[in-house]
Chains A and B, each alone.
Chain A
Amino acid sequence: QQQVKQSPQSLIVQKGGISIINCAYENTAFDYFPWYQQFPGKGPALLIAIRPDVSEKKEGRFTISFNKSAKQFSLHIMDSQPGDSATYFCAATRSHSGGSNYKLTFGKGTLLTVNP
């Protein structure tokens, strides 16, 4: 059972446009939602993360919007650049779940291509 659903699977955006990736989760115990960016042949890098006590978090051109009632969160990339072309994974976890019982549940990923 996939607990974090991510869409779209792939996305093509023109340079300067806005890229939007959406995720929906099922487990209401999740309370930490990071986004990872992964370039081919590299490990995932933490991009931005949010907790459900805020509805939006912005870091530079990257913004997470969070809708707790709908159990949805999304990543917006403003002024998308060719260098943003990568695979983006949303994830969710139940933080402070005690001891070492800590797992990230990933979405299936979105391949973003930004055309020059």
Chain B
Amino acid sequence: DTEVTQTPKHLVMGMTNKKSLKCEQHMGHRAMYWYKQKAKKPPELMFVYSYEKLSINESVPSRFSPECPNSSLLNLHLHALQPEDSALYLCASSQVVGGINTDTQYFGPGTRLTVL
């Protein structure tokens, strides 16, 4: 099973709201990723977690706050977002073997976020 699940599927929020996106995988993968994807564009990497530790932050604004509570879960906390943050937010995971991330990333279906 190569399934990554994400909730909610759709989210509409105001600029003053606080919300969270959730991602879950049960493949035993120890690397998890957040991507942002705008329409007709490729995914853009935001964060990488390896063994529940943040290893890459692609200079993402602090209004996006990731959290990895355990090896199966990844959250993205949202606060004071801007309309330009509206996008499809994708979670992905990959195996880590011998301390090295393997190549194949499996993506979830995404959360369609609209910021009003």
Contact with B along A78-116 (1 / 0, CB 8 A): 000000000101000101111111111011110100000
Residues of B within 8 A of A41 (CB): 88, 110, 112
- Residues of B in contact, count (CB < 8 Å): 31
Closest to A94 in B: B103
A97 to B43 alpha-carbon distance, docked (Å)? 21
Cβ contact within 8 Å between B48 and A102 = yes
Residues of B within 8 A of A89 (CB): 42-43
A21 to B65 alpha-carbon distance, docked (Å)? 37
Q: Which of B40, B45, B50, B112 contacts A103 (CB 8 A)?
A: B45
Q: Using a Cβ cutoff of 8 Å, how many contacts connect chains A and B? A: 72
Contact with A along B34-70 (1 / 0, CB 8 A): 0000001111010011100101100000000000000
Cβ contact within 8 Å between B106 and A100 = no
Cβ contact within 8 Å between A44 and B103 = no
Asked if A61 is at the interface of the complex by the 8 Å CB criterion, the answer is no
Cβ contact within 8 Å between B42 and A102 = no
Closest to A108 in B: B42
A86 to B54 alpha-carbon distance, docked (Å)? 33
Cβ contact within 8 Å between B90 and A43 = yes
Specify the main secondary structure of chain A where it touches its partner.
loop
Residues of A within 8 A of B45 (CB): 103-104
Residues of B within 8 A of A44 (CB): 43, 90, 107
A46 to B31 alpha-carbon distance, docked (Å)? 17
Cβ contact within 8 Å between A98 and B90 = no
Cβ contact within 8 Å between B40 and A42 = no
Cβ contact within 8 Å between A34 and B48 = no
Q: Which of B1-51 contact A (CB under 8 A)?
A: 4, 6, 31, 40-43, 45, 48-50
Contact with A along B84-116 (1 / 0, CB 8 A): 000010101010000111111111111010000
Q: Which of A32, A34, A100 contacts B50 (CB 8 A)?
A: A100
Cβ contact within 8 Å between A100 and B56 = yes
Closest to A41 in B: B112
A-B contacts, 10 listed (Cβ < 8 Å): A43-B107, A43-B109, A44-B43, A89-B43, A95-B102, A100-B50, A100-B53, A102-B94, A104-B43, A104-B45
